Amino acid sequence: MISANMISIKNLSFTYSERGPDVLRGITLEIGAGNICALLGPNGSGKTTLLNLILGWLRPKTGRIEIEGRNGEDLSRREMSRLVGFVPPEEPLGFELSVLEYVLLGRAPYLGFFETPGAEDRLAAWAALETAGIQALGGRALPTLSAGEKQLAAVARVLAQDPSIFLLDEPMSHLDLANTQRTCWTIESLRDQGKTVLFTTHDPNIASAAADIVVMLLRGKVVAIGPVGETLTAVNIKSTYGVDAEILEGNGRPVILTRLRRR
């Protein structure tokens, strides 16, 4: 159920250099609590840049981003880390932490300086590992994991963090079919807890399966925005990706078919 806006973006534009082109142009978007929103678009459309702006890692050229009604630029690092959790598509994991130790890093926003995780933090970490389906990997060293296992460990870390808002950048890009399904179910359970989830994907079928709302981006501008069934149309797929698509229905959701072979 939609309630107060957790993320509000108004007339947002961004460029990486003063004389360079705008990477994002006039983005306006509102996402309420208890919603799953997919940012969908081809490579270079500005999806990851938008997440980085929400996190405060980049500053907009124009516009404003509000988190729970507050200007994102006014939030301290600690406040931001309690409100917003982030899963990157990949992150360097060269250090010899175990998976459990890595997931415990998600508890950092709740610890004081030089404070070590306690029993409650460990319980939260084990629960996150179980939810992500990798409890058996808790004692493994991070560098020994496959790309998909590392991605699930990153999801578990953010689950242990327990923020109000989850930002996930291509969270299923390295996952097999079973773990993609588990991650979709995890995202759905977060929504049912009143959490807000914003994730990026190149795949319209992932967006259709996991999201309530879809924002379709192309070259930094919004092509379409709205509920899944109204937004994932053949016209919008053509406008965003430049390919013809056939839209079927499966379990009440659009299924997008494209021709990958010439004949």
Q: At what angle do helices 119-132 and 177-192 cross, to 10 degrees?
A: 130
Helix ranges, the chain (H) = 47-54, 77-83, 99-104, 119-132, 147-161, 177-192, 204-210, 228-231, 234-241
Signed CA dihedral, 185, 159, 155, 135: sign only: negative
Radius of gyration of the chain (CA): 19
Residue with tokens 């460029």: 15
Strands 70-71, 62-67: pairing is: antiparallel
C-alpha to C-alpha distance for 28 and 8, rounded to whole angstroms: 8
CA angle 14, 18, 21 (to 5 degrees): 55
How does pLDDT run across 109-133, given as a tens digit for each residue? 988 888 888 999 999 999 999 999 9
How many other C-beta atoms lie within 10 A of the C-beta of residue 137? Answer: 21
HSE-CB of 97 using CA atoms within 13 angstroms: 14
C-alpha to C-alpha distance for 16 and 62, rounded to whole angstroms: 13
Q: Which two tokens stand for residue 90?
A: 């990949």
How many other C-beta atoms lie within 10 A of the C-beta of residue 211? Answer: 27
Please tell me the pTM assigned to this model. Answer: 0.91
Phi and psi angles of residue 53, each rounded to the nearest 5 degrees, phi first: -70, -40
The residues near 261 (Cβ < 8 Å, ≥ 6 apart) are none
How does pLDDT run across 69-83, given as a tens digit for each residue? 899 989 988 899 999
C-alpha to C-alpha distance for 229 and 247, rounded to whole angstroms: 10
Per-residue pLDDT 10s for the chain (263 aa) are 344 678 999 999 999 988 888 999 999 999 999 999 999 999 999 999 999 999 999 999 999 999 998 999 899 888 999 999 999 988 776 678 999 999 999 999 988 888 888 999 999 999 999 999 999 999 999 989 898 899 999 999 999 999 999 999 999 988 899 989 989 999 999 999 899 999 999 999 999 999 999 999 999 999 999 999 999 999 999 999 999 999 998 888 999 998 877 76
